[in-house]
């Protein structure tokens, strides 16, 4: 048996988002986001046609849910404030019902010794702003900063961990490259502008937060997916993997921590004639307003080989013109999600952050295993026996522990997610939670075996294996 004892004060908990958990009530004042609109337009694209109004009812069940967080060992919990709930039109009047709700959630968390980690943008652009171009429009950046400042002033006396974006590369990929988020464009030039505006918005929100001097810290949450070349001794494979890393990781990681975009990325975008519109003071603003804390979401690796397939010119240039994905023989898979399970990836990310990004304070802000049909694992007591999830978390935590032993400044581990929640186009197809949600019984909650196990890990600040 090996003992894995984590540093004192290590953060144990989980992550979720407002749009995936809260739900919606008549007259709650919330405005439409892009998800509400897209479901109205194309409900057939959502698994079982389950839309964002059928999320896990945190809006009405938050007190019960926070007790369940306590019962599963949470010392911290990350969620987001829905822009379209707080400021329904994206700009203008604040929804006082939303203020009351978020105040109540924050106070309830603190009363139960669970620290709130609050993210500002989790893919939920207010529809009124999307109609004007969303992140393509510079005015959205200005509106976002007002939204951020509003949140800081309303809740910053109690919330001391803030994040500007969750996975900002995803709106770029989903909305402007690969058609899995609204507005479903496939246009790399637009994608570049969207990514640039998200980076700029983050820096401007960080500046606003620090100027308010509220005694907390602010960062960003990035899904860092290591790009491994098919053959590390093959220069073409290595070059292709570097392109993937530039497009999907370093496009946000470098400006967030170093305050500048990677030169190689700028050169590629420049060669394509797709540099974004930049105002004179922008790059200095990004340079001077870097993050205090990095959240790292890790699910799977990216396996890359040199470009062998024909370039598809249908939609103009794409990141995929520079590399091909590679299926490594013998890889371990999560068959439900179709993702490779590669635990060492979490260690490689932490090592990279330690060696190349000043060993900035960071934490694992998401890591999880989505499984379809979990009801098949219910025992006679009605508890889901998700030993596979326990094994998944344990095997990743072992690599987090190794990174700590080697000097990584990683401060905590958050699982995705606390309770099963609505997951965009996948709705409830794959379940990720420590706590099961039964949609047929008014969202009845039941702690899974993994949730009980996580409580022991949190209580002991570690585990033996």
How many angstroms from the chain centroid is the CA of residue 244? 19
Handedness of CA 78, 180, 50, 428 (dihedral sign): negative
Structural domain range at position 124? 3-464
How many angstroms from the chain centroid is the CA of residue 26? 28
pLDDT band at 55 (very low <50, low <70, confident <90, very high): confident
**Cβ proximity of 21 and 428 under 8 Å:** no
Handedness of CA 9, 420, 169, 199 (dihedral sign): negative
Position 219 scores a pLDDT of: 98
β-sheet with 302-305: strand ranges across? 227-229, 302-305, 324-325
State the Cα–Cα distance between residues 446 and 384, nearest whole angstrom. Answer: 8
Give per-residue pLDDT as tens, 80-128. 999 999 999 999 999 999 999 999 999 999 999 999 999 999 999 999 9
pLDDT for residue 419 is more than 90: yes
pLDDT for residue 459 is more than 90: yes
Give per-residue pLDDT as tens, 366-412. 999 999 999 999 999 999 999 999 999 999 999 999 999 999 999 99
Q: Which residues pair with 362 in a beta bridge?
A: 294, 410
Name every residue whose Cβ is closer than 8 Å to that of residue 398 and which is 6 or more positions away in sequence.
4, 343, 465
Give per-residue pLDDT as tens, 220-278. 999 999 999 999 999 999 999 999 999 999 999 999 999 999 999 999 999 999 999 99
**Kind and range of the H or E run holding 196:** helix 188-212
Name every residue whose Cβ is closer than 8 Å to that of residue 355 and which is 6 or more positions away in sequence.
none
Give per-residue pLDDT as tens, 289-331. 999 999 999 999 999 999 999 999 999 999 999 999 999 999 9
pLDDT for residue 338 is more than 90: no
pLDDT for residue 54 is more than 90: no
How is 217-268 classified by DSSP, letter by letter? EEEEEEE---EEES-TT-HHHHHHHHHHHIIIIIHHHHHHHTSS--HHHHHH
What pTM was estimated for this model as a whole?
0.97
Neighbours of 398 (CB within 10 A): 18
Position 53 scores a pLDDT of: 84
State the Cα–Cα distance between residues 451 and 459, nearest whole angstrom. Answer: 12
State the Cα–Cα distance between residues 52 and 141, nearest whole angstrom. Answer: 25
**Cβ proximity of 11 and 413 under 8 Å:** yes
State the Cα–Cα distance between residues 408 and 335, nearest whole angstrom. Answer: 31
**Cβ proximity of 331 and 291 under 8 Å:** no
Give per-residue pLDDT as tens, 66-92. 999 999 999 999 999 999 999 999 999
Give the domain CATH number at 44. Answer: 3.20.20.80
For tokens 């420590």, the residue is 434
Domain count, the chain: 1
Q: Which residues pair with 222 in a beta bridge?
A: 296
**Cβ proximity of 164 and 218 under 8 Å:** yes
* Vertex 54 angle, CA 52 and 60, to 5°: 110
pLDDT for residue 336 is more than 90: no
Question: So which residues are the catalytic ones?
Answer: 366
Instruction: Please count the CA atoms within 13 angstroms of the CA of 276 that sit on its side-chain side.
Output: 25
Token pair recorded at residue 456: 């022991």
Report the candidate in 278, 274, 247, 272 with the shortest Cα–Cα distance to residue 262.
247
């Amino acid at each position: 048996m090996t003992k894995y004892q984590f540093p004192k004060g290590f953060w144990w908990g989980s992550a979720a988002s407002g749009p995936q958990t809260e739900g919606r009530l008549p007259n709650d004042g919330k405005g439409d986001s892009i998800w509400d609109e897209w479901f109205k337009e194309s409900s057939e694209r959502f698994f079982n046609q389950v839309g964002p109004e059928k999320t896990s009812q945190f809006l009405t069940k938050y007190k019960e849910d926070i007790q369940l967080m306590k019962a599963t060992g949470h010392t911290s919990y990350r969620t987001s404030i829905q822009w379209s709930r707080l400021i329904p039109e994206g700009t203008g009047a604040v929804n006082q019902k939303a203020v009351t709700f978020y105040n109540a959630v924050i106070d309830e968390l603190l009363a139960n010794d669970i620290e709130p980690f609050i993210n500002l943008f989790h893919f939920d652009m207010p529809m009124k702003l999307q109609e004007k171009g969303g992140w393509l429009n510079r005015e959205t950046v200005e509106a976002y900063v007002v939204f951020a400042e509003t949140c800081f002033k309303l809740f910053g006396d109690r919330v001391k961990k803030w994040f500007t974006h969750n996975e900002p590369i995803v709106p770029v990929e989903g909305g402007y490259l690969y058609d899995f988020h609204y507005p479903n464009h496939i246009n790399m030039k637009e994608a570049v502008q969207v990514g640039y505006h998200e980076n700029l918005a983050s820096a401007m929100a960080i500046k606003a937060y620090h100027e308010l001097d509220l005694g907390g810290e602010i960062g960003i949450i990035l899904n860092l997916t290591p790009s491994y070349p098919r053959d590390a001794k093959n220069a073409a494979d290595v070059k292709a993997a570097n392109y993937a890393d530039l497009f999907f990781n370093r496009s946000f990681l470098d400006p967030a921590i170093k305050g500048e975009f990677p030169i190689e990325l700028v050169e590629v975008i420049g060669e394509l004639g797709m540099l974004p519109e930049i105002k004179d003071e922008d790059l200095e603003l990004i340079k001077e307003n870097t993050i205090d804390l990095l959240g790292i979401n890790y699910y799977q690796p990216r396996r890359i080989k040199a470009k062998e397939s024909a370039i598809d010119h249908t939609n103009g240039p794409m990141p995929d013109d520079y590399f091909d994905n590679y299926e490594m023989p013998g890889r371990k898979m999560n068959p439900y999600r179709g993702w490779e399970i590669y635990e060492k990836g979490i260690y490689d990310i932490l090592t990279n952050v330690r060696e190349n990004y000043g060993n900035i304070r960071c934490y694992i802000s998401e890591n999880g295993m989505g499984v379809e049909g979990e009801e098949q694992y219910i025992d006679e007591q009605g508890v889901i026996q998700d030993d596979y999830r326990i094994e998944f978390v344990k095997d990743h935590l072992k690599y987090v522990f190794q990174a700590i032993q080697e000097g990584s400044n990683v401060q905590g581990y958050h699982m995705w997610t606390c309770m099963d929640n609505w997951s965009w186009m996948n709705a409830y197809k794959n379940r990720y939670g420590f706590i099961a949600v039964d949609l047929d019984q008014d969202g009845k909650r039941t702690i899974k075996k993994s949730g009980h196990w996580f409580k022991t890990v949190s209580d002991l600040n570690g585990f033996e294996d």
